[in-house]
Chains A and B, each alone.
Chain A
Amino acid sequence: MHSIYKRTTAALALSVALAVPAAAELTGELRIFLDTSNPAPRATMEAMIERFQALHPDLEIETTIIEREAYKTQIRNFLTADTPDVANWYAANRMKPYVEAGLFEDVSDLWAEPEIAENLASTKGAMTLDGKQWGVPYTYYQWGVYYRKDIFDELGLTEPTTWEEELANCQKIVDSGRICYTIGTRNYWTAGGWFDYINMRTNGYDFHNQLANGEISWEDDRVKQTFANWKQLIDMGAFPDDHTARSWQESVPLMVRGDAAAILKGNFVVAPLRDAGLTDDQIDFYQFVSINPDVELAEDAPTDTFHIPANASNKEAAREFLRFVVSPDEQTEINNGANLGQLPINAKSSVDDDKFLIQGFEMLSSNSPGGVAQFWDRDAPAEMAKVSMEGFQEFMVKPDDLDRILAKLERSRGRIYEN
């Protein structure tokens, strides 16, 4: 019995293997470097690579997973020496240093293939520098306000859509002895998210982009207006006092305990909220409110990417791997709730049946006419991102020192963009 079963599975496997079009049999070695060191993404990637291996049995695939933070500095080394064939990274300006140094392979040819050109059009902009594409995306996720629905119900609040409603909601939350938004600015980028949203809502996506590209003075009145809006929330006690001492993970318990009503964050915050015991009835999502009715809504949706290093040795196999990663089925699979729990980048893929993913997908595909930004520290050059996010944090502590902080940022702008 057992042996029959074995034989049939073997036969089945064989027939499946035969059914695969043997168009170009890939051989040699394919070395993949990944930064997906957290348990769930790691398992997802390993499973995906196994499926790719099954399609190309003659290919020797070697996967190296590097701790996420360490990866950010190691990439500079391994792109120049002992280079892998595929490496993952982030879109937009974050890939600029490597593109400029000629370390990423131009993959515009892949983007010319109809399969990719048609289905990945929405993320093409984020992968384009100097009119060429330098990699493919594999996942992205929405940002927005994740809130405690039970607290909103208790206080009789509804999801706000305008700044006035937002402020009124927040006032009621503060009056009930809670804070409106938990945040931990020990990771500076958390403040960057707030700046992204308030600036995009106040001045629009294009202005935001120009600011990130150093084309606008930090002492411009429009920038000051952004901070004035932000200050309204700070002054009413919307944020916790000790946010500078917390990392973003440490800021989540405030919301779990019900001391904070909401958090502005990427979709990755859902997992820790659920893990902490909150049910889907208790948490919900809404799009960041509109502030200036004259500007179109634009969202943050950071995209994670795969690249082929210019020094790779098996570029043919690497290209095939990239095609595989962005294919509709793989995209559906790796982005589902059991795996990455994010949004697929292929238009033909389906979004997992998860209320946050569905809402996020709808928001990004139909209610973000202004554009989609990557995130402040990916859109602005690294140095400017660093200096400015520090400034945002300082502003949140000392909102009255705004002029001094902006003067500092303006000086940095003068230095950073001059080349």
Chain B
Amino acid sequence: MTVAVDAPERESWFHKNQQRIAPWLFLAPGILFFLVYVIIPVFQSFNLSLYEWDGLGTAEYVGFRNYEDLYWEWVDRDAFYVSLKNNLIWLVLYLLAIPAGLFIALLLNQTVFGIRLYKSLFFFPFVISQVVVGLVFTWFYDPTFGLLNQFLAWFGLGPINVLGNEHLVTYGIIAAGLWPQTAYCMILYLTGLNAVDPEQIEAGRLDGAKGFRMLWHVVLPQLRPATFIAFVVTIIGALRSFDLISVMTQGGPFGSSRVLAYYMFEVALSEYGFRMGYGAAIAVVLFLIMLCFITYFLWSMYREERGY
């Protein structure tokens, strides 16, 4: 009688470590592309911002000269100052898209005949290209034939040249940007509203809550994830506002509607731009601003997951 002795199973190294390796293998393509297209360029542009380079010849190391120039532009209230200021206005006013989107979502969150049609009409501006939005609003604002001024004329109000006025132009562009952004927030809230627990509404109603109190204490807390996402996309959208400015004013009149992203493009890549290093320095500043928000977002997501 022989007892079959189990030969000790020869596990391969891969087999032994499979559990630990597999996630990395799956992550590898993502990490690779993230490194090549995001992380490395971040360092590259920081490096480039220390050089003076016209994109053709040889780059000359200038240290922090580009940042110094930016500083002087700030002091002199020049282009950089204007761009930064406009970026701030964008950040603040663009957030209006969130309450506006919530309002429309609440309005549309009902079952009446044809509601799907209304929803898609409201969502429409987000589907069309930003370039089209820009063009439509350019015509809307046009001082001679624009709808806005025709409308004002009914009330005997003089034509206002929104896009040609240095004080109004940024607000005019933001208004154009809010149109699609509101639609985006609306969609986020509409999906969020689907997930609102009807039992809690019921319970709230039994306790006598209605109207604004119901919204504030029962519905909104349940919409927190949607609010968070709406906040993130709106902030990012405001910081990277570029297409509307490019289509509607090209930064004008005399540069008063620039934001950092557009200024960077102008300096480095546009028809008259040959200053790659300077553009990179602006990009670094923009990146640092974004970093503040990104850090905040990541931190609050982390907190969420920890369950605080």
Which A residues fall within an 8 A CB radius of B?
69, 72-73, 76, 79-80, 97-98, 100-101, 103, 185-186, 188, 241-246, 377, 382-383, 385-386, 390-391, 393-394, 397, 408, 411, 415
Interface: B114 (CB within 8 A): no
User: Which of A103, A244, A382 is within 8 Å of B253, CB to CB?
Assistant: A244
Report the separation of the CA atoms of residues A246 and B252 in the bound assembly, to the nearest whole angstrom: 11
Interface: B243 (CB within 8 A): no
Measured between beta carbons, the chain B residues less than 8 angstroms from A69 are 271
Q: Which of B31-39, B54-62, B101-109, B210-218 contacts A (4 or more CB under 8 A)?
A: B54-62
B164 touches A242 (CB 8 A): yes
A76 touches B163 (CB 8 A): no
Most buried by A among B69, B143, B254: B254
Interface residues on chain B, number (Cβ under 8 Å): 32
B252 touches A411 (CB 8 A): no
Q: Is the interface of A mostly helix, strand, loop or mixed?
A: helix
Measured between beta carbons, the chain B residues less than 8 angstroms from A242 are 143-144, 159, 161, 164
Interface: B199 (CB within 8 A): no
A245 touches B272 (CB 8 A): no
B161 touches A408 (CB 8 A): no
List CB contacts (< 8 Å) of B45-71 with chain A: 54-57, 69
Measured between beta carbons, the chain A residues less than 8 angstroms from B250 are 186
Q: How far is the CB of A130 from chain B (nearest CB, A)?
A: 15
Report the separation of the CA atoms of residues A382 and B267 in the bound assembly, to the nearest whole angstrom: 11
A397 touches B163 (CB 8 A): no
User: Which of B57, B78, B270, B272 is within 8 Å of A377, CB to CB?
Assistant: B272
Q: How far is the CB of A37 from chain B (nearest CB, A)?
A: 15
B254 touches A415 (CB 8 A): no
Measured between beta carbons, the chain B residues less than 8 angstroms from A100 are 56-57
Q: Which residue of B lies closest to A257 (CB)?
A: B144
Measured between beta carbons, the chain B residues less than 8 angstroms from A76 are 55-56
Interface: B249 (CB within 8 A): yes
A186 touches B249 (CB 8 A): yes
Q: Is the interface of B mostly helix, strand, loop or mixed?
A: loop
A80 touches B56 (CB 8 A): yes
Measured between beta carbons, the chain B residues less than 8 angstroms from A79 are 56
Interface: B89 (CB within 8 A): no
Interface: B76 (CB within 8 A): yes
Report the separation of the CA atoms of residues A393 and B251 in the bound assembly, to the nearest whole angstrom: 12
Q: Which residue of B lies closest to A250 (CB)?
A: B142
User: Which of B69, B143, B272 is within 8 Å of A382, CB to CB?
Assistant: B272
Contacts A76-B55, A76-B56, A411-B76 given; indicate if A393 touches B254 (C-beta within 8 A).
Answer: yes
Q: Which residue of A lies closest to B145 (CB)?
A: A253
Report the separation of the CA atoms of residues A111 and B273 in the bound assembly, to the nearest whole angstrom: 31
Most buried by B among A98, A241, A245, A382: A245
- A sample of 18 inter-chain contacts (CB < 8 A) reads A73-B271, A79-B56, A185-B252, A188-B252, A242-B144, A242-B161, A242-B164, A244-B164, A244-B253, A245-B163, A245-B164, A245-B253, A382-B272, A383-B272, A386-B273, A391-B254, A393-B252, A397-B253
B141 touches A245 (CB 8 A): yes
A241 touches B161 (CB 8 A): yes
Report the separation of the CA atoms of residues A401 and B55 in the bound assembly, to the nearest whole angstrom: 35
Q: How far is the CB of B50 from chain A (nearest CB, A)?
A: 17
Report the separation of the CA atoms of residues A246 and B141 in the bound assembly, to the nearest whole angstrom: 11
Measured between beta carbons, the chain A residues less than 8 angstroms from B252 are 185-186, 188, 244, 390, 393
Contacts A245-B161, A397-B166 given; indicate if A185 touches B253 (C-beta within 8 A).
Answer: yes
Using A383-B272, A385-B272 as known contacts, list a sample of 15 further A-B pairs with CB atoms less than 8 Å apart, ordered by residue number in A.
A73-B271, A97-B54, A97-B56, A101-B57, A185-B252, A186-B164, A186-B250, A241-B161, A242-B159, A245-B143, A245-B162, A382-B272, A383-B273, A397-B253, A408-B76
B161 touches A98 (CB 8 A): no
